[in-house]
Amino acid sequence: MIPGAFEYHRPQKVDDAIALLVKHGEDARVVAGGHSLIPMMKLRLAVPAHLVDLQDIAELRAIRSDGGTLVVGALATQREVIGSEPLASKCPILRETALQIADPQVRYVGTIGGNVANGDPANDMPAVMMALGASYRIRGGRGERDIPARDFYRGSLVTALEAGDILTSIRIPTPPQGHGYAYEKQKRKTGDYATAAAAVILTFSRDACSSAAVALTNVAPTPLFATAAGEALVGTRLDEAAVAEAVRRARAIVEPAADQRGPVDFRVHVAGVMVRRAIQRAKARAS
């Protein structure tokens, strides 16, 4: 379990990192926390000849509230997300999700950018970003652009990132005060990836749901934004009929792999249960 050899680079600025990626093309990979990439390198499933370490680039770490948008730097660690006061008060689903990722050591080092950018369908944050309607700010060879999370994932480990691109920050429209939220994750043990997980963001007051977004983790080659499931809740009292319909619609779009976490029909079942619980908890939290 020894990684292949590489040349190591530690740029101080984003543009220097991009220049390295452009120069070395397919032979270069960025490393943030490294807790997805390094295990792959140890198995020699990833053998970059050039490793571009982003840890010194200060502008990638900042977490801030910018008017109606929360800006989370790509290199912010899960632990920093958990400890962030603005995020805890304005977008608490992030903290709830981060606490369910891996274990304390991984959370000290693993970054939110790495979690959303590498296209691993087992990662938790992508579905949350889809539910929040977040977008990813990408800087690369052709300048800067924002890509909505809902459009970012193309396949397992395949995203909209092009050669030379770096995710610099995640931009989240601040959810309305009193919004309901939940990230429900079923896993075999603490720290495991999800057997199935669901993220729900909704607004519900005076017995009416005015907006709802549902997204799913690890039940398809990409994270899934369950558009129809969210639509089933809008305009309803989030009563059993509405919830059941949302669950039915979510189950209809999942295509989980059969693996150590269970056979296909079990994982479909768990996906439905996670959607149900997430809606119920989000409803209870909404005001």
Partner 1 sequence: MSAPVETADVRKQQLEGLGARRKRVEDARFTQGKGNYIDDMKLPGMLFGDFVRSPHGHARVKSIKKDAALALPGVKAVLTAADLKPLKLHWMPTLAGDVQAVLADEKVLFQGQEVAFVVAEDRYTAADAVELIEVEYEALPAIVDPTKSMAPEMSSALRFL
Partner 2 sequence: MSKMHIKLTVNGRPVDALAEPRMLLIHFLREQLSLTGPHVGCDTSHCGACTVDFNGKSVKSCTMFVAQAQGGEVKTIEGVAAADGSLHPLQEAFREHHGLQCGFCTPGMIVRAYRLLQENPNPTEAEIRIGIAGNLCRCTGYQNIVKAIRAAAERMNTAKEAAA
Footprint of partner 2 on 204-243 (CB under 8 A): none
| Look-up of token digits 């000849």 | 49
Among 6, 210, 234, 273, binds partner 2 (CB under 8 A): 6
3-state helix, strand, coil in the chain (%, to 5): 35, 25, 35
**Binding residues for partner 1, how many (CB under 8 A)?**
5
Looking at the DSSP assignment, which residues form a beta bridge with residue 181? 201
Location of structure tokens 């995710």: 167
Q: Binder to partner 1 among 13, 44, 64, 145 (CB under 8 A)?
A: 44
- Secondary structure (DSSP) of 22-68: HHHGGGEEEESS-TTHHHHHHTTS---SEEEE-TT-GGGT-EEEETT
# chain residues binding partner 2, by CB under 8 A: 29
Residue 45 sits in the site that holds partner 2 (CB under 8 A):
no
b/e burial code for range 76-93 (CB count within 10 A of at least 16 → b): bbbbbbbebeebeebbbb
What's the closest the beta carbon of residue 229 comes to partner 2, in angstroms?
A: 31
Question: Per rule CB under 8 A, is residue 8 in the interface with partner 2?
Answer: yes
Determine the interface stretch with partner 2 among 47-55, 133-141, 208-216, 271-279 (rule: CB under 8 A). Answer: 47-55
- The DSSP bridge pattern shows strands 180-186 and 135-140 to be unpaired
Site for partner 2 contains 24 (CB under 8 A): no
Q: Is 143 in the site for partner 2 (CB under 8 A)?
A: no
Q: Which residues bind partner 2 (CB under 8 A)?
A: 1-8, 10, 31, 34-35, 38-39, 41-42, 51, 53, 55, 79, 102-106, 108-109, 190-191
